[in-house]
Structure 1
Amino acid sequence: MLTSLPMAFLLALGIALFITPWVRKAAFQIGAVDRPDPRKVHSKIMPRMGGLAVFIAFGVTVLFTQQLDNRIIGLLIGGCMIILLGILDDTRGLPAKVKLAGQIAAAAAVIPFGIQVDFITNPLNGHLVHLGAWGIPVTVFWIISVTNAINLIDGLDGLAGGTSFIAALTLAAVTWQQAHLLGGLGMDVVSLALILAAATLGFLRHNFYPARIFLGDTGSMFLGYALSVLAVMGVAKAATAISVIIPMVILGIPLLDVFFAILRRYQSHRPIFQPDKEHLHHRIMALGLSHKQTVLAIYAINLVLGISAFLLTVITTSQAVLLLFILAVVIIVAANKIGVIGRATRAGIQSSVSVSQNLQQRSSKM
């Protein structure tokens, strides 16, 4: 590290605060705007492409404050690729297949720089399962999944940015806790995650409700991309029994939202990439919460998951399993209650519960 971490944090924060209004003007000039439609909650033309400010703040701060190595260079190169893809989508609109191809290329770009999932830990016995060549598709799949998860949750002012800010802080805290397992790379990931959090926080000043600029695909894809790559560089390298679970808990809200969206669309025989108004934020707003209240409620859920992810690193394996079980039950019940899962899946859950109850009644009579 070439300068202190607080200085790096303040630099990224200041750059994002200063440059976002400039990016806003540029978005209007090149036609990177978001027009209202029945699926969206805003009622006027809004500039997007705001993620360019986050990327510039992150990239400049990393270049001036960090000791560059292959992994950091790979992250920046891949980040440039995903930013260019996002700008094209924000200005011209790209078919889903073209976006996916670009995401695959950006995800694969980091692998030659040593950023890859080499192993996963079997949570049942703690033994390492080395992936070998399978590590490449696993890495690409993970990066694409998180990239699209953050992209899909970007439906309300400040939602994707705030979710990513909390995730980046959590990732920094978890990696710091496990730094003794990661060597020098651990503190590098802590620094990068905090710089990403600072850049996102600076942008949120202009993006929180009522927003003056949107992240756009430029920003939501970059944030998802950066978080997924940092998770591979850090937490995924820790050889602990629950290391494979921790990144999923940190990014639980966006990952579950995209999982339930795929279920809904599959059940209704719609294309997986076809938008709808049944995402988590839509369903919470349908309960009567305002735009701002909905965003703050999801922030609170993200904080709970972030704290849970940190706890997973300091408690015993048996306690971790119990915590994960409790989280899973709460998530399924809550998702079923507010309607994010979809009618068919909810009916399946209720049917499974009924079958389980019938079996218990029969066994008690035997």
Structure 2
Amino acid sequence: MNFYDLLRSLGIADPSGTGWLAVVFTFALAWGVTWRFIPSVRSFALRVGWADQPNARRLNREPLPNAGGLAIYAGVVAALILASLLRPIVIEGVLAEVLSILLGGSILVLVGFIDDQFGLPPLFRLLTQILSALLLVANHSGIEATFGTPIDPLFSVVLTVLWVVGITNAINLMDGMDGLAGGVSFITAMSLLAVSAQFPSRAAATLLLAALGGAALGFLRHNFHPSHIIMGDAGAYFFGYVLAATSILGNLKVTTVFALVPPVLFLLLPVLDTTQVFIRRLMAGKNPLSTPGKDHLHHRLLALGLSQRRTAITLWGLTGVANWVAMKLQGMTPIVIHATMASIVMLLSFTVWQRMRNVASKSP
């Protein structure tokens, strides 16, 4: 098997073209920009006081810079801009979809950053998330319900809003431990990338997921325990929104409730974690979105005696299994699934090794 045959077996329709090179370039550039930009963001954040104080939700025992989301956002945007300049013919066909998702993500980055530093009412944050979800509907990029009823258009809007708002908050609520939200987002982005790359109609999702995956990996280089920066609400909202949007991009048609199973499986861990937290807090008479507490899955694993590193890796593993099943249900070939999982494991292992080597070199 030659190189072109290998690329075709991975689902690349035109190995001699430039589309797949644009995806690889976008991933690498987002990784590099985020990785190199974070130290500067961290230094500035410490000078101006952009930091999370220890609280009931987070595990840090001292103020921790919370502006990592700005570096993640910068990495994604820089990668997409340069990709559009170097590969304009590849990008121009999906520019409208990419820009609509980036616009919604930009709004949430701004709102999340303001909330990180000054605090915003939960209702205002919720309304902003709904507005960002409606941007997808306006661009015809949401879930399309086709039950054959007069209320199908309304039901499509409701499903899209619930999905986007739910996943955005699910990723944000998971961001309570070093490396967790970033690792889960990276695994999910790479798995969704492997699926979207098989379909020309999902080219916009492919580019966005390549940029998001690269940015997540670059962020993990600084965020795996012991972290010296966190993504904050700005980064968590951005990850959640883009993952939610790209998982339904390409005209996801819902004729039965089972059509939603594959997208849910890709994001199963955040969905399960948020669901059990919501139920427990509602039963306790608390506001699920604004009440902090150590009632997440990672808190339970920590209570069993696992370290933060082992807890993160355990939950990464569960995320990987769920994404493996989701790819199977999407009809991906074994070679695509195995290549995707192997790439995820190798990239995460290399990132963790680099982080541990850096920590060890600075230890007295």
- Asked whether 1:20 is paired with 2:68, we answer no
Counterpart code for 2:161: V
Residue of structure 1 in register with 2:185 after alignment: 164
Shift of 1:176: 3.1
Task: In structure 1, list runs of 5 or more residues that go unmatched.
Answer: 316-366
Match of 1:265 among 269, 281, 291: 281
Counterpart code for 1:175: S
Note the 1:92-103 alignment, pairs <5 A.
92-103=118-129
Structure 2 counterpart SS, 1:4: helix
Shift of 1:71: 1.0
| Counterpart-to-counterpart distance in 2, 1:21 and 1:164 | 21
Residue of structure 1 in register with 2:23 after alignment: 5
| Counterpart-to-counterpart distance in 2, 1:52 and 1:128 | 43
Match of 1:37 among 10, 32, 55: 55
| Counterpart-to-counterpart distance in 2, 1:103 and 1:241 | 24
Residue of structure 2 in register with 1:149 after alignment: 170
Q: Quick one: higher RCO (CA 8 Å, sep 6+), 1 or 2?
A: 2
Note the 1:20-99 alignment, pairs <5 A.
20-66=38-84, 67-68=91-92, 69-99=95-125
8 Å contact kept, 1:70–1:114:
no
Structure 2 counterpart SS, 1:137: helix
TM-score when scaled to structure 1?
Answer: 0.78
| Counterpart-to-counterpart distance in 2, 1:256 and 1:211 | 25
8 Å contact kept, 1:157–1:214:
yes
Note the 1:251-290 alignment, pairs <5 A.
251-273=267-289, 274-290=291-307
Runs of 4+ in 1 over 6 A off after TM superposition: 127-130, 238-241
8 Å contact kept, 1:48–1:214:
yes
- Asked whether 1:207 is paired with 2:223, we answer yes
Structure 2 counterpart SS, 1:163: helix
Shift of 1:164: 0.3
8 Å contact kept, 1:174–1:309:
no
Shift of 1:22: 1.7
8 Å contact kept, 1:71–1:113:
yes
Bigger radius of gyration, 1 or 2? 1
Shift of 1:263: 0.8
TM-score when scaled to structure 2?
Answer: 0.78
Match of 2:312 among 295, 309, 316: 295
Give the % identical residues: 33
Counterpart code for 1:165: F
Shift of 1:266: 1.7
| Counterpart-to-counterpart distance in 2, 1:20 and 1:128 | 50
- Mean Cα deviation higher: 195-204 or 33-42: 33-42
Counterpart code for 1:290: S
Q: Deviations over 1:326-361 (max 9, x none)?
A: xxxxxxxxxxxxxxxxxxxxxxxxxxxxxxxxxxxx
Residue of structure 1 in register with 2:10 after alignment: none
Structure 1's 286 and 75: CA in aligned 2 closer, same or farther, altered over 3 A? same
Note the 1:108-127 alignment, pairs <5 A.
108-119=134-145
8 Å contact kept, 1:161–1:204:
yes
Match of 1:247 among 251, 258, 263: 263
Shift of 1:244: 1.7
Structure 1's 238 and 200: CA in aligned 2 closer, same or farther, altered over 3 A? farther
- Mean Cα deviation higher: 300-309 or 271-280: 271-280
| Counterpart-to-counterpart distance in 2, 1:194 and 1:235 | 20
| Counterpart-to-counterpart distance in 1, 2:144 and 2:50 | 39
- Mean Cα deviation higher: 48-57 or 64-73: 64-73
Structure 1 counterpart SS, 2:59: coil
8 Å contact kept, 2:141–2:251:
no
Counterpart code for 1:111: V
Residue of structure 1 in register with 2:322 after alignment: 305
